[in-house]
Amino acid sequence: LDIRKIKAENGGTDRFADAVPMVASAGDVVMANRQVLHGSFANTSSDLRVTINFGFHRRSSVIGVKREDGAIYDEEHIRARSRIIALAIDARRQRFPEETSFVYKPLVDDPDDTTWNEQTREQLLKNYQLLDLPL
């Protein structure tokens, strides 16, 4: 999409005629394709607005991909980013011990510790966003 062109053709406004509103109340969850053109009005209330983005890539669509900066998403990069998933699973296991815990198969035999504790929290979560896979 050429957003600048669409905006120019729309009289310079970002209120596009074909836009479809996603109306949500406090506490609602909206799900959309992560590549959808989207926007929102400024939050002029005193209420906090939180946006959490979740993304998923098939391993086969990521492995070996070369980023703009020349880095390549190799097995170690994907493993390092995936360890955060295992850490979150263990945090939930500790919080809800009566539940049957999910088994994250890609790291089931991984020798490195992904037990939720202060040490692994600091090691794995510090600057974790640097391991994101923006494709």
Least confident of 37-46, 57-66, 80-89: 37-46
- pLDDT of the residue at 29: 86
66: three-class secondary structure by DSSP:
strand
The tens digit of pLDDT for each residue in 79-110 reads 999 999 999 999 999 999 999 999 999 999 99
Whole-angstrom CA distances from 105 to 59, 76, 77, 102 are 13, 16, 17, 9
Angle 54-58-59 from CA coordinates, rounded to 5°: 115
Token pair 């703009």 in the structure block, residue: 68
Domain residue ranges in the chain: 59-131
- Spatial contact of 70 and 62, defined as CB atoms under 8 Å apart: no
Least confident of 46-55, 87-96, 123-132: 46-55
How many C-alpha atoms does 123 have within 13 Å on its Cβ side?
12
